[in-house]
C-alpha cells in the first residue's frame, strides 16, 4: 500500500500566474537522502522547471503550497511577502491546554541544539505569531494510541513573519506543543499536526483566496474539527493585536 508521499499531488488552484497544491506531511522542501522534495515533485508532475515556490513548509507540515508560474508573479509575490501584505493562516492541534486562548507570541529566535530553535524575550528582529485556541471534543475512539483525557486544542495561527520553525516554537512557548512534533515536546503521533490552511492576497488586480481542506491524519479524523466553522474562516476573525516595542539594535 503506497503512502500519501508516493501519490500524485492534489491541485488546489491554477491559473496563468499561480499553481497551488496540497503538500502531504512527511515530504521535505528539497530532496533528502530518502525522499523527493516537494519542489522537485511538483516540477516533475506538472512537467515544468518554471515553477517557483513562493514560500516554504517544514517536512512535518501539510497543506497549501503556492508556486509562481512566471518570473513576474514570482517577483510580485516575493515583494508582497517582504512587505507583509499576504495573509497566511495555519491550523494546528495540541493535547495541552494553552495558558491563554488568544493573543500574540513575539520574540527573537535563535538556533539551539540539533536543529531546534529557541524563543527569546528580546525583540530586535522578532518572530510574530497571532493565535486563537479552542477546546475540541475528546477523542471518539478510546482504543487509539492518540487517546487523551484532555481532548484536543485547536489553534488558528496567523504568522506575521516567516522564521524557521516559528509556529512550532510559538506553540511550545504557550505550553501547547503541536501534536506529533516530538522535537518540541509534542505528544507522539502518526504525523505532526500543523497544516497550512489558507492564503489571501491581491495579485495583478485579482483577489486570491486559496484554501486547503485536505486534513489527513488520525487526529484530524477523530476530532470535531469540522464543527469549528469560525476557525475555518480565519480571515473573518477579529485577530488580537501584536503590540510590542522593538528593542534597540546593538551596533
CATH at 145: 3.30.2350.10
- Half-sphere exposure of residue 18, counting CA atoms within 13 Å on the CB side? 24
Q: Would residue 75 count as lying in a domain?
A: yes
Full residue range of the structural domain in which residue 147 is found: 4-236
The grid coordinates of residue 90 equal: 495555519
- Collect the ranges in the chain with pLDDT lower than 50: 1-2, 140-141, 250-251
pLDDT value for 146: 61
Q: Would residue 244 count as lying in a domain?
A: no
Cα separation, 219 vs 216, in Å, equals 8
pLDDT value for 148: 60
Q: Would residue 245 count as lying in a domain?
A: no
Cβ 209 vs Cβ 89: under 8 Å: no
Q: Would residue 169 count as lying in a domain?
A: yes
pLDDT value for 221: 83
Cα separation, 93 vs 218, in Å, equals 12
Contacts of 179 (CB under 8 A, 6+ apart): 92, 93, 94, 95, 146, 152, 186, 187, 189, 192, 193, 219
Contacts of 91 (CB under 8 A, 6+ apart): 154, 155, 156, 157, 194, 195, 197, 225, 231
Q: Would residue 103 count as lying in a domain?
A: yes
Q: Would residue 249 count as lying in a domain?
A: no
Residue owning grid cell 495583478: 204
Q: Would residue 241 count as lying in a domain?
A: no
If one counts the domains in the chain, the total is: 1
Cα separation, 96 vs 91, in Å, equals 15
Angle, CA 74 vertex, CA 107 and CA 18 arms, to 5°: 105
The grid coordinates of residue 223 equal: 476530532
Q: Would residue 204 count as lying in a domain?
A: yes
pLDDT value for 203: 98
pLDDT value for 251: 37
Catalytic residue numbers read: 58
Amino acid at each position: 500500500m503506497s503512502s500519501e508521499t508516493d501519490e500524485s499531488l492534489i491541485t488546489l488552484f491554477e491559473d496563468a500566474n499561480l499553481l497551488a497544491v496540497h503538500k502531504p506531511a512527511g515530504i521535505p522542501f528539497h530532496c533528502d537522502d530518502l525522499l523527493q522534495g516537494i519542489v522537485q515533485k511538483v516540477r516533475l508532475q506538472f512537467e515544468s522547471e518554471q515553477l517557483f515556490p513562493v514560500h516554504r513548509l517544514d517536512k512535518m507540515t501539510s497543506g497549501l503550497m503556492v508556486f509562481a508560474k512566471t518570473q513576474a508573479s514570482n517577483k510580485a509575490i516575493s515583494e508582497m511577502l517582504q512587505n507583509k501584505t499576504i495573509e497566511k493562516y495555519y491550523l494546528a492541534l495540541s493535547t495541552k491546554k494553552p495558558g491563554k486562548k488568544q493573543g500574540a507570541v513575539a520574540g527573537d529566535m535563535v538556533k539551539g541544539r540539533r536543529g531546534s530553535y529557541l524563543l527569546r524575550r528580546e525583540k530586535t528582529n522578532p518572530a510574530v505569531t497571532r493565535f486563537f485556541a479552542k477546546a475540541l471534543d475528546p477523542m471518539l475512539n478510546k482504543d487509539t494510541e492518540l487517546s487523551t483525557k484532555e481532548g484536543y486544542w485547536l489553534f488558528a495561527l496567523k504568522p506575521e513573519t516567516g522564521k524557521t520553525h516559528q509556529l512550532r516554537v510559538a506553540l511550545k512557548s504557550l505550553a501547547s506543543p503541536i501534536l506529533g512534533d516530538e522535537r518540541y515536546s509534542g505528544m507522539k503521533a502518526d504525523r505532526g499536526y500543523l497544516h497550512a490552511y489558507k492564503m489571501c492576497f491581491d495579485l495583478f488586480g485579482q483577489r486570491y483566496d486559496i484554501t486547503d481542506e485536505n486534513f489527513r491524519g488520525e487526529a484530524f479524523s477523530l476530532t470535531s474539527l469540522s464543527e469549528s466553522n469560525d476557525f475555518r474562516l480565519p480571515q473573518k476573525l477579529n485577530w488580537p493585536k501584536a503590540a510590542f516595542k522593538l528593542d534597540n539594535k546593538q551596533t
